[in-house]
Structure 1
């Protein structure tokens, strides 16, 4: 009995202190002088521990999987809490759980693979310690004859090989799941979203003043206010576009005002970078030319302020002309590939083309966009309820629309220019006006007898009304968003959910129709 006691103590000596205590209790319960009736607790504890060890191969992986899944779920809810105002049809719970599961499986596989390796190492150490103890006491499993010791070794070897085989299978499966996560991470980009990635990379690697586009001169305009989170990304992507278009073919005009978060400082730094690149530009920071209304809720004072600020960003174009296209960007996350995609829509055969801004309820700027028949649209894919637009979006082709803006837009510059600065040659215009009589358009608020609309709606409306420019498209490939978390979600195609329902701002019974299409009943 003394030898048995020593074997237990020697085996337990390689364990932590708490495990040594457990081994001591089990040993105590097995001593001849100890009655199982007198010590039922020890017996129950031994049975429970035995069951735990025997079922650990199943219970531990299940618990680990549950833990990893709950961890990712908590991470998700930290970004999108229940009170975030998500529109559930645009964020179906089944798809959210699928995304979390796609992250859980590779992580769980990696943890399992590491666990198998650690278990194998621990097992080798334990067996080595046990064999050392047996050799020290001159016995092996209580077997004294050589033949019995040989059979005992063979039995242990068979068990070890069988265990190693199962461990190897578990290891291979776990590593495969972990590698599937690596594969998903490396191939997450949808090829259709990066059709011009190679051209942009070439432009960055081998820059030239004439660029790699078709020589079209592009006037890039934007306005910012407290956009510190967006600015580094936006500047990086616009700089790529500059390399692609060529410094000879770009003008950058930005208006920033009333910021307190460092937006102005970032733009000041970029101002110096543009000087080094030789890009013509005018960046107004800390600008207070246009008084900002105290109340920026959706009303005429807000629209008048935004109209005047956008017109201020266009001043260098209106004063000197010389550019074919205006590229006007809101404060959105967007990739350079998407901007090139926008400019190449329909091989350049357009008068105006818009991106697709997506947020918590799907399509964000439903106030501006109208389908080609002037009707209201849905905030959920495929956004349009009429056949031509719906089919175009489903095929990822530009959809014809009456009006749009949606985060970023490109349009022909001539209608904004004084007649003396317009390029010679015919261009669409109203049949009742000659070129000399057609005044330039600009951003404006709605007239008293018009549908109350944003300045972004009135620009394409005026392009049609005054210049008969009706080649206006929304390109569903040009995804952008005002917040990074929504941008990633929709950019990866997670937010596709088809529901046929119009997005109406106000009472649906009060929607009315004018020559600009359906009017939201504010």
Structure 2
């Protein structure tokens, strides 16, 4: 190597080192991003191909769907009822029982649940839908009973909200015992699914075809 070639090489190395020092952060960031993307692509390529999503649930688990409703007509019509119908189609009608208690609504909740009842009938789903005219206010205005009431700071007896709601929940669960005790077409259940006023969707997962309520 001649002296001139040596000087050119030294000059190139100096410029390269200067460039690396000046742009070290950008180079490091780019390198880390490249490694991350490479890791993601590697993990994706190692995953086995997913199986097609089954349109119905193959397990024969018996599911008891219970729910309380009060002044929720819009929610029922737009979200809740369609989602429950999808749930019924997924698990199949013979594996589902629907028990609903409505608590003295003053909007169109009773009408919305009546429409929902017709849809369940069309699908052949066994169900109980109780539409009550008695509201929480009606119970409050009755003479106090021995349980479920408290002496308030205002010097009067007030109905405790939790025991009142618990009584409605018990109403929705009563059919469990009746279905298990009946002589013809006795039914027992593997799971009790409380839904109430929630917005959810049925999402099928592979490979086990489980559902998620979101």
Same fold (TM over 0.5): yes
Residue 316 of structure 1 corresponds to which residue in structure 2? 175
Correspondent of 2:70 among 225, 229, 242 = 225
Correspondent of 2:194 among 308, 328, 342 = 328
User: Do structure 1's residue 265 and structure 2's residue 111 form an aligned pair?
Assistant: yes
CA distance in 2, matches of 1:323, 1:284: 21
User: Do structure 1's residue 244 and structure 2's residue 90 form an aligned pair?
Assistant: yes
Kindly provide the CA deviation profile for residues 400-458 of structure 1, in whole angstroms up to 9, marking residues without a partner as x. Answer: xxxxxxxxxxxxxxxxxxxxxxxxxxxxxxxxxxxxxxxxxxxxxxxxxxxxxxxxxxx
Q: Counting strand residues as a fraction of each chain, which structure ranks higher?
A: 2
Shift of residue 287, structure 1, vs aligned partner? 4.5
CA distance in 2, matches of 1:234, 1:281: 16
Q: 1:285 to 1:248 in 2, by over 3 A?
A: same
CA distance in 1, matches of 2:213, 2:71: 24
Superposition map of 1:268-307 within 5 A: 268-288=114-134, 292-293=139-140, 301-307=160-166
Shift of residue 227, structure 1, vs aligned partner? 0.6
CA distance in 2, matches of 1:255, 1:287: 11
For structure 1, the 5+ residue unaligned runs are 1-194, 204-211, 346-476, 480-522
Is the CA contact 2:96–2:125 (under 8 Å) kept in the aligned structure 1?
Answer: yes
Identify which of structures 1 and 2 has the higher relative contact order when contacts are C-alpha pairs closer than 8 Å and 6+ apart.
Answer: 2
Higher CA-based Rg: 1
CA distance in 1, matches of 2:108, 2:176: 27
Matched residue count = 136
CA distance in 2, matches of 1:238, 1:315: 20
TM-score by length of 1: 0.24
Is the CA contact 2:68–2:100 (under 8 Å) kept in the aligned structure 1?
Answer: yes
Q: RMSD of the TM alignment (CA)? A: 3.0
Shift of residue 292, structure 1, vs aligned partner? 4.2
Shift of residue 289, structure 1, vs aligned partner? 8.9
**SS where residue 73 of structure 2 aligns?**
coil
Any runs of at least 4 consecutive aligned residues in structure 1 with deviations exceeding 4 A, and if so which? Answer: 289-292
